[in-house]
Every structure is written in C-alpha cells, then in structure tokens.
Amino acid sequence: MAITTDETKANDDDQVYQKGVKNLCENGVTKVPKKYILPEFDRADIVLQVDLTMPNLKLPVIDFSELQGPNRSEVLKSLTSACEKYGFFQVVNHGIPNNVISSMIDVSARFFELPIEVRSKYVSSDLTAPVRYGTSFNQNKDRVFCWRDFLKLVCHPSQDVLVHWPSYPTDMRRLAVTYAKEIKNLFVMLMEAILESLGLWGATMNKTEEVEKLIKQFQDGSQQMVVNCYPPCPEPHLTLGMPPHSDYGFLTLLLQDDVEGLQIQYKEKWVAVQPLASSFVVNVGDHLEIFSNGKYRSVLHRVLVNPAKSRISVASLHSLPFNSMVSPSPSLINKANPRRYKETDFACFLEYISSFEPKRKNFLESRKLL
Ligand code: OGA
Ligand code: NI
C-alpha cells in the first residue's frame, strides 16, 4: 500500500520533533504543534499566574552554615519538618562558590546554543549511556511531547564516564566536573544531617555501623546530572516543560537560573517555587521515601514553560551505588511502624521506565507493600 501524503508528513514531523524544541524554536515555530498539546484534562490546572490563593508559600530555607554550629539541632528540626510536609526545601550558605554555580549555568546555556548537528551527536536510546541528549520526558514512549530538551551526564565512576562527555563547549567538561564534585560533597553532608534528623545517630549517639556504611555508599554512589533547557513557548498554557513526576534517588539538588517554572504539589494544589539567588532546591526522592519507610515524602513536581524567556536548570540526582539495594532502614521499622516498601535498586527502576510510559508516581507505587 502506498503511503499517503498525510502519513509521510506525520513521519517527517516526528523526525523533526525528535530533534527537540530548541530546534523547533530556531526554525521559527509560532504555534505549539499538536504533538505537544496536552489533553484538556491534563492542562486544566495550568495557571500561569501565581496562584492567588497561596501567594506566600515559601519553601523552608535551610541555612547550611548553621548546621555546622551550635544551632544544629534546631536546623535538624526544620529539616525533618520540611521533608515530612513538603518533601522539598532550599539550601543557602552551602559553601559552593558563586563562580562554580554561575559557570555551570553559563556553560549549560552555551551547550544548547551549539548547532543541532553537534548536540545530536549525543542522542542515545540506551538509558544507561554515560551521556545522553534528548527531548521531552521519555521521547521513545511519550505520546504527547514536553517542551524541554536535556543533556544527561552520568558522573560516576568519573574515570570511565568523563571521556564520553561533550567536548564542546571546550570548557564544558572542566566546569561540569568541578560542579559535580562540589554538589556531591554537599549531597553527602546533607544526607549525614538527614540520617541524624531521622534519629539514626546524633549528639548522644555515635554513628552506628549502618550509618557509617551508608555514608561511604553515598560518597561512592551513583550521580547523574540532568541539564534541562526550556525554550520560550508561544502557547505556554497548552503544554508542560516536564510532566508531574517524582525523582528516583535519595535527593535531587536543583540549580536553576532566575526564571520561574518549577511547581510542586502541596495539599493537592500546584504551587510555584520562587527561585532564590545562590540557593539550591533540594527534594526527597523515591529512594529516601523508601529508606525512611514513608516518613519523608517524595513529592510530585512539574515544570511550566514561559512565553518570553528561555530557562536552564541543572538537576543532580544522587543515590547508593548502581547495584545496591534500597530498603526501609531496619532501625525505623517496628511493630507500630511496620515495613511499607519492597526493596529496589537502580536496575529495577530502569526496567520499569523502559517498559511503561512513566506517569506520575507509578514506580514508587509499585514498590509499596499492601
Ligand atoms: C528534574 C526536575 C525541575 C526543573 O530534572 O527531575 O524536576 O525545574 N527538574 O527543571
Ligand atoms: Ni524532578
């Protein structure tokens, strides 16, 4: 049977969409193509103005420098309440130099300015590839595409992966490695505090073998950086930069430029996270929800797009080493608080996302015991 012109056009269009939204914009798109238009139901709650019923919702701010001083126990309490109530907080005074942060944003933006032919060299359908350029959320599975292009960089083990990272812009590897190391250290120190906030060690209790082992595993654990680029969108009420999802690791540390876009689910509403200069947005991932046996929550979040401005963010996702099992901490389970999750590892997550359209919290739901 001969292919009809309509089908040929649809196939051609699909090939263009696979090249990403930045490319569409560079080619002068003025309307959101059908491929990106969410079903009515999924876009009913896209409100582009700040939600007037919740004007002042500010994420809890954790002053990292205070954690090292006499107020540590107060800060740990704020950390507990942030992880229970929001699953999110912002960290300030974290000690990572401003130039390391601004260089990471700057080189990320310059990567997406490279010609599409250069960026496309890193396209891969292998979910474990050390570097992967792509678009949407999962471009092999998504029926509706998202208004986002990304570059994923696996950061560990560095001696194996770095040679695969982009060689352009020529300073990308150097700047991204410096950033990756700094953010990893911050992650490990935050996890040390979070383990303390869960009561696993503290001022009156030395680190147990479990805690010592976990900290070593975090130092040597998996780390992936996702550089996200959200180009301006001509009809931002029709699509999303990222659909509602939760992150799989223990913590995600998110660096964003000064453009708003991230929203988190709070009391069944979407609330905007206002970017705070020189801070990181940190969120609890599925692995920490499982490890804490549900005490700390891995919360759904999504990204809106903007009619005027391009937005860059760099998410750094951290967990245990690739093959380690994550399960509820034995110290947090007892008769009153029975085990609520099955164990899981990274391989199990990858298998799940390659066989299902990743929607909402399916993976975490699949790990819940009845
Ligand atoms: C992510 C994410 C939010 C953002 O990369 O998992 O949720 O603002 N990013 O880019
Ligand atoms: Ni996320």
Q: Per-residue pLDDT for 246 more than 60?
A: yes
- Structure-token pair, residue 340: 């609520």
pLDDT above 90: percentage of residues in the chain = 76
Classify residue 145 by burial, with Cβ atoms within 10 Å: 0-12, 13-18, 19+: buried
Q: Which residues, listed in sequence order, are joined to residue 167 by a DSSP beta bridge?
A: none
Q: HSE, CB side, 13 Å, CA atoms: give it for residue 122.
A: 28
Atom of ligand 1 nearest to the CA of 226: 5
Q: What is the CB < 6 Å shell around ligand 1?
A: 226, 228, 242, 247, 254, 256, 261-262, 301, 303, 313, 315
Q: What CA–CA distance (Å, rounded) separates 264 from 268?
A: 10
Question: So what's the pLDDT on residue 142?
Answer: 87
DSSP-based three-state secondary structure for 205: strand
pLDDT one-digit tens code per residue, 179-198:
999 999 999 999 999 999 99
CA of 261 to the centre of ligand 1 (A): 9
CA 247 to centroid of ligand 2, rounded, Å: 5
Nearest to 233 by CA among 15, 48, 30, 51: 30
Contacts of 295 (CB under 8 A, 6+ apart): 83, 84, 198, 332
Residue 105 CA: distances (Å) to CA of 45, 94, 123, 129, 228: 30, 17, 21, 23, 10
- DSSP string covering 312-369: EEEEEEE-S-TT--B---GGG--SSS---B--B-HHHHHHHHHHS---BTHHHHHTB-
The predicted pLDDT at position 358 comes to: 52
pTM above 0.85, yes or no: yes
Give 74's pLDDT tier (boundaries 50, 70, 90). very high
Residue located nearest, by CA, to atom 6 of ligand 1: 247
Spell out the domains of the chain, with CATH numbers in brackets: 20-366 (2.60.120.330)
Query: How far is ligand 1, taken at its centre, from the CA of residue 242, in Å?
Result: 7
The ligand that comes nearest to the alpha carbon of residue 263 is 1
Q: Which amino acid is present at 187?
A: F
Confidence category of residue 335, pLDDT binned at 50, 70, 90: very high
